Amino acid sequence: MKPELLLKPTPAGLYCPSGDFYIDPVRPVDRAVVTHGHSDHARAGHGVVLATEPTLAIMASRYGEAFTERRQAAAYGETVTINGVTIRLVPAGHILGSAQAVVEKGGARVVVSGDYKRRRDPTCPRFEPVPCDIFISEATFGLPVFRHPPDTEEIAKLLLSLKTFPERCHLVGAYSLGKAQRVICLLREAGHDAPIYLHGAMQKLCDLYTAHGVKLGDLRPAADAMKTPLTREVFKGAIVLCPPSSLNDLWSRKLGDVVTSFASGWMRVRARARQRLVELPLIISDHADWDELTATITEIKPGALWVTHGAEEALVHWSNSIGVPATALNLVGYDEDGEGEPAAPTPTEASA
């Protein structure tokens, strides 16, 4: 079978005609394969959802137990056959439960990366490269300007600020699914054993990570501490995690004098840090940066590259230049972590 016939882009998402299923569809379909639990890839309303058990648990937590008519859990490496097409989920290194979808039929193999990164993450297994005829990749940070520093260095910046300003609360904006739990784990690995306070929107997913064996240490609801007579004293010298949307709202004003921080790959763009009034930007991303994207393509050596979303043009140009034919699919409906971040910076921002 020709690899390019195995999957095709449609308005609903990547579709497999032979197997009659979609991968990360953006609208309700009869059968979906979901790579991970972020809301731009995992939506409610499908007839059947095939995913890893943690991803199914995340979807149930976010959308309710009836998010699909039927769940089909697959372990990493397990082969599932649908209408003569085999599907195997392998680690993507993005968040808990994240997977690449390895789709095969008649000797053809196509790998859909979903969202991924190559560096170590204490909350999930590392990305597993799979040789294939077509590699379908994201390109959220598909510009050479995006080279993420080691996350240990960014956590060290946070802890140094905490030591330098012990009288101030450090409020860290982080996406509620994946980023928040990774930042907590990195803080624990760096020796920060003090209680970490959580915005209410973080609690349920942190509990889910704990239930799946991810050790997060002493976490406390910020709302409980806000009920005490000496609220601002409690938060002096403490780290509080909240969704990015809460960094500068009325809720955050209850914390007293804060150092506002934001953990995101977009903090490489200084203009975005300024727009969000971020005092301490932390460049921590759950997506592959430019070097990781290009190294992955070089390592896998696919017969062709298809780029789903992000800064497609630069990665397509680079791939073609090394002899790997590449195509931009320009799929709509995907963004960083499903939290409303833009899919790519403007040219002005990229040079800022």
Domains in the chain (CATH in brackets) are 3-145+286-350 (3.60.15.10), 151-282 (3.40.50.10890)
Collapsing DSSP to helix, strand or coil, 34 comes out as: coil
pLDDT in tens, the chain (352 residues): 899 999 999 999 999 999 999 999 999 999 999 999 999 999 999 999 999 999 999 999 999 999 999 999 999 999 999 999 999 999 999 999 999 999 999 999 999 999 999 999 999 999 999 999 999 999 999 999 999 999 999 999 999 999 999 999 999 999 999 999 999 999 999 999 999 999 999 999 999 999 999 999 999 999 998 988 777 789 999 999 999 999 988 899 889 999 999 999 999 999 999 988 999 999 999 999 999 999 999 999 999 999 998 889 999 999 999 999 999 998 866 765 444 444 444 444 443 4
pTM exceeds 0.85, yes or no: yes
| Contact present, 316 and 327 (Cβ < 8 Å) | yes
Strand-pair category, 169-173 with 239-242: parallel
Strand-pair category, 46-51 with 258-263: unpaired
| Structure tokens, 20 | 């009659």
Give the model's pLDDT for residue 345: 45
For residue 305, list its beta bridge partners: 135, 326
Say how many CA atoms lie within 13 Å of 338 toward its Cβ: 20
For residue 171, list its beta bridge partners: 240, 260
Collapsing DSSP to helix, strand or coil, 331 comes out as: coil
